[in-house]
Each structure stands twice: as structure tokens, then as C-alpha cells.
Amino acid sequence: MRERRFMQVDVFSSSAFKGNPLAVVVDAEGLSDAQMQTFARWTNLSETSFLLPPTQPGADYRVRIFTPSNELPFAGHPTLGTCHAWLHSGGRPQREGVVVQECAKGLVPVRVDYSNAAAPLAFAAPSSTRKSFTEEQLAAVLAAMGLQRDEIVDCALLDNGPVFWALLLRDPDRVMELQPDTAALYAMCTEVGFAAKYAPQNDALIARSSREARAFERSTADDASDIEVRVFFNATTTAVEDPITGSFNASFAQWMIDAGHIEAPYVAAQGTCIDREGRVHISRDAEGQVWVGGASHTLIQGKVTL
């Protein structure tokens, strides 16, 4: 047991306390798997990350990511939040403007550009596969979400470490009003993300007439959103809504762009229904690499005895 540097970071929102919180143990060297899991269970956050020296050439640091119940090979908001914590704890990347994170998924580059206040950090979306599924499996998911098949524009089963059902709906208002059967999702061991595109900003007040004030905010804000996202996990005995999900937005963006449903760059809003103001900034470079960015804030900084 010794004192280790500790931070709690709010990720994927320009407003502090409106993003997704992450616990980061900065000096995690020497901790066992069991100790990491015990601490992650104690923090009771969706993820806790542990910073370690890199083991692969080219990596600036290594991270291990734990939920209260298990370790993850990759996760989005822990990638941005851990990079934020590493830089603010004195980390210096080998290559200016790019931090290379080592995790169980592999090496993940993170671009650093503090001139971009809305998304000073952005990670390269890791490889994602689209898994096959049957209509019977899809029907069970739709039933748990209270959806009819004709409400779905497209769907996919995405895997970039975490596995998500991705459902593209026609209407953002329908996304906002859904109340899933969480017990059914838990019984299926299923994580589901669903989204719908907003009308172009100049049509926002008409397209979202049932939410005039919120539409006006989006049409005037610097980080006005193009798509509304919600994601439900089943990490406990009941499924819970995730404030902002970087891993889902990464694989979802790759699928959406490839399928021709949306063009990059775009901004995804998430967490609206649970009083968060998540903004995930998606871009795509000339080589076709998708980047997932957002803002981070240090909210707690100190020491933990572990």
C-alpha cells in the first residue's frame, strides 16, 4: 500500500459536470489485477483506468481499463480521459501533437490540438467489425426497445472491443422518448445504441417543434449537434443509460460513414435524457481514418492509497 497520484476527469463535454466521469490512477505500477478490480468496483464509475509504463515500442504509456465488474480491451471516454490525465500529470509524447496509447486492443493514437477548444483531444477509431445476426435476434432487441421494424432505417452489430447493437432511427424525437425494457436487455446480455439524424440546422425549429428551446440552443451553439445518440449497457442487474460512449460512437461513425448515412465531420449529442451535455466530434482524414474527439476537465486531483 502506498500513495499514488489520482485524478477524476469529466470527458466529452464542454461544460464541467455534464460529461462522463472517469477515475484515473496515475501511478498504477505494481498493482495486481485483483487490486485494480477492487478499486474500480469501489469507485463505482462506469470505468476506472490505470496508467502504467508502456511495453510496446512507440507507445507513450499503457492503460488498463476496468468497469466495476471486468476489464475492457478498449473504451472511448477512458482513452480521452486517461490521455488528458497523463498530459496534465507531466507526460510528454515522443512525437509532438500525437500521444500513442497502449491498451489491450493495441496502439491507439490520440491527436492533441489545444487550439480546438471543443475537441482538443481526438483518438483514432480502432478497427471495428460488423458481426452477422438473424432477424430473430434483431426482433428480440426491437421488442426490448419498444420499436417496430419499420421505425429502423438501418441496423448493425458492431465490435471494436465492446460489442453493440446499433440502430439508426428515422426521428430524433423517437430516440428521446424510448424507454427500454432493461430487464429484457440484461437477460439477453445486450448493449444497444440507437440514434437519429437531425434536420439541417436551418430547418431545426420546424423539425423539432416539440422541443423548440432545445432546438434553438443547438442551432446557435458552437457545438451544434447533427445526430442524437443514446446507449444502454447491462453492466449490472439492470441496464443503465451511459452518459457518453466513445467506443460506440467510434464504431457507429465508421459504419454510418461507410454505409452513406452521414458525412464527416459531424457532432453527436449524447446524454440529453439524463441531464448531460455530451458532444462527440467525429472527423475523417484523407486516408479514411475516423477520429473521435471531445473536451475533458480535471475535477478531482490528489492522492489515493493503494
**Catalytic positions:** 47
In angstroms, the CA 232 to CA 254 distance is 20
Q: Which of 187, 176, 184 is nearest to 144 (CA)?
A: 184
Q: Phi first, then psi: give them for residue 83, nearest 5 degrees.
A: -60, -45
Q: Please give the single-letter amino acid code of residue 60.
A: D
SS (HEC) of 164-233? EEEEEECCHHHHHHCCCCHHHHHHCCCCEEEEEECCCHHHHHHHCHHHHHHHHHHHHCCCCCCEEEEEEE
In angstroms, the CA 182 to CA 179 distance is 8
In angstroms, the CA 26 to CA 22 distance is 12
The C-alpha torsion from 85 through 90 and 36 to 122, rounded to 10°, is 40
Q: Phi first, then psi: give them for residue 234, nearest 5 degrees.
A: -125, 55
Q: Quick one: cell of 23?
A: 477515475
Antiparallel, parallel or unpaired: β 266-270 and 240-242: unpaired
Contacts of 197 (CB under 8 A, 6+ apart): 172, 226, 227, 261, 262
Contact 123, 292 (CB under 8 A): yes
In angstroms, the CA 226 to CA 157 distance is 22
